[in-house]
Amino acid sequence: MPRPHLTLTPAGPALAPRYRSHPTEPPRNPYLRLFAIPGTRAFTAGNMVARLPMGMFGISAVIMVAARYDSYALAGAVTATALGAGALTGPWIARLIDRYGQARVAVPAAVHAVLGRLLLVLCVHERAPAWTLFAVTALTATLPNTGGMSRARWAHLLRGDPESLHTATSFEQAADELCFMLGPVLAALLCSAFVPEAGTLVAAVLCLAGVLLFTAQRATEPPVAPRTSHGSPLRAPGMAPLLAVFLATGAVFGAMEVVALAYVDGPLAGPVLALQAAGSCAAGLLYGRARRSARLPACLAAMTALMAVPLLAATTGSLPALAAALLVAGMATAPTMVTGMGLVQRLTPESQLNEGMTLAVTALLAGVSAGSAAGGWSADHSPFPAFGFLLPPAAALLALVLCAATGTGRRATRA
């Protein structure tokens, strides 16, 4: 398949006539131009199916283990084990994908991870000794980073067209937020309507089906590029400071999730928290229509300011006010992540793109874990109800300070 050819029009980059069935004016909407490229709708559909379980596995495991063992402490520890194991193996799986191709590595890796999930369901259902849950959970750590693989396809298809790549990256961030908004709700519904294991079972089926559909789209799969470096992308100039910023940013998300859940403490907690993801999803789609991205320090400054809004709302004791504040706070998330991921793509050699983006996701997940722990501690020891809401703006401020001190993101604006 020929590489997509883009031309410039007054409305921005547009597809060359050979990609259009009718010689009409290219669509002005940048998202319509993206999905006019042959094969993009198919791989995006498969990737969305594969990505939805990412928002389901965690809460499904917590509900499943807590229901069978009557211990939220055990459920949280098992989930944390899965997160930690994934952080260790994620970059290794991504390196194999860069070296051998998406289809050759992602399919067996996903099969291995899904089998691990099914073994976990079996152990929980039979109330096996607690130690077996941790051992089996480690087997699920081979799940490939489907979001990173999708971003790698866009980077390959839109080389030389930074404006369209910016739109594609914004769409991918909005898709992440949508999956993490719908996934927990679907998981909780399945676990409550059927059996506690239903959420994990459905997520496992969706994950494997989505990966198979995604990798079947071979025409848009980026070719394996010759390795220009034998080291890790972590050694690329500027990468380590950027990952430190991602670590602090992840703490923002982890702290806000736990603090908000503890503050609302009821059946409305999930829908209220989902508003933050909804705000980020909307902001991501709007940000993708912009011709240029902002600088990373400006995005982090906006995040620091907006993350203080839930703190102010929580001091009023009004649940509607908190819900509205979370919607507003979420609007800084997608622009920050889009700009940060754009920097990762610039700093990472093309032959190691999947590995570089997975390192960024790993740093985020580590930050989420740390933020969740801090949020849980504040929920149990807070001197006043809104105390925990101090953590997200503090973590965002830390990310901003790290960014400014190291000079990370000074060239984030797209040329």
Say if 174 falls within a structural domain: yes
Average the pLDDT over 357-385 and give the result: 80
Return the structure tokens found at 278.
Answer: 């909804």
The residue with tokens 């094969």 is 39
In terms of residue numbers, what domain contains 274?
233-415
Find which of 196-205, 248-257, 346-355 is predicted with most confidence, using mean pLDDT.
196-205
Closest by Cα among 401, 408, 260, 281 to 323: 260
Q: What is the pLDDT of residue 47?
A: 93
Say if 1 falls within a structural domain: no
pLDDT of 78 > 90? The answer is no
pLDDT of 16 > 50? The answer is no
* Domain match, 159 and 242 both: no
* Domain match, 360 and 406 both: yes
- Cα distance between residue 254 and residue 317, in whole Å: 22
Q: What is the pLDDT of residue 374?
A: 81
Average the pLDDT over 16-22 and give the result: 42
* Domain match, 203 and 250 both: no
Which of 180, 200, 225 finishes a domain? 225
pLDDT of 268 > 90? The answer is no
Q: What is the pLDDT of residue 118?
A: 95
Query: pLDDT grade, residue 266 (50/70/90)?
Result: low
Find which of 21-25, 104-108, 271-275, 352-356 is predicted with most confidence, using mean pLDDT.
104-108
pLDDT of 79 > 90? The answer is no
Which of 225, 242, 259 finishes a domain? 225
Half-sphere exposure of 310 (CA within 13 A, CB side): 35
Say if 166 falls within a structural domain: yes
Q: Report whether 158 contacts 4 (CB < 8 A).
A: yes
* Domain match, 61 and 203 both: yes
Say if 30 falls within a structural domain: no
Q: Report whether 72 contacts 63 (CB < 8 A).
A: no
* Domain match, 373 and 290 both: yes
CATH number at residue 153: 1.20.1250.20
* Domain match, 330 and 373 both: yes
pLDDT of 56 > 80? The answer is yes
Our count of domains for the chain comes to 2
Q: What is the pLDDT of residue 328?
A: 93
pLDDT tens column, 135-193: 999 889 899 989 889 988 998 898 888 888 888 888 888 888 788 778 877 887 888 88
Q: How many CB atoms lie within 10 A of CB 80?
A: 16
pLDDT tens column, 201-248: 999 999 999 999 999 999 999 888 766 555 677 777 888 899 999 999
Say if 32 falls within a structural domain: no
pLDDT of 359 > 80? The answer is yes
* Domain match, 219 and 251 both: no
* Domain match, 277 and 150 both: no
Q: What is the pLDDT of residue 24?
A: 56
Say if 282 falls within a structural domain: yes
pLDDT tens column, 305-328: 999 999 999 999 889 999 999 999
* Domain match, 237 and 345 both: yes
Amino acid at site 152: A
Kindly give, in sequence order, each residue whose CB lies less than 8 Å from that of residue 144, ignoring residues fewer than 6 positions away. 93, 94, 97, 105, 106, 109, 110, 211
- Cα distance between residue 69 and residue 55, in whole Å: 23
- Cα distance between residue 136 and residue 132, in whole Å: 6
Average pLDDT, the chain: 83
* Domain match, 122 and 157 both: yes
* Domain match, 209 and 356 both: no
* Domain match, 408 and 273 both: yes
Average the pLDDT over 33-61 and give the result: 90
Q: What is the pLDDT of residue 228?
A: 59
Say if 14 falls within a structural domain: no
Which of 192, 225, 258 finishes a domain? 225
Say if 3 falls within a structural domain: no
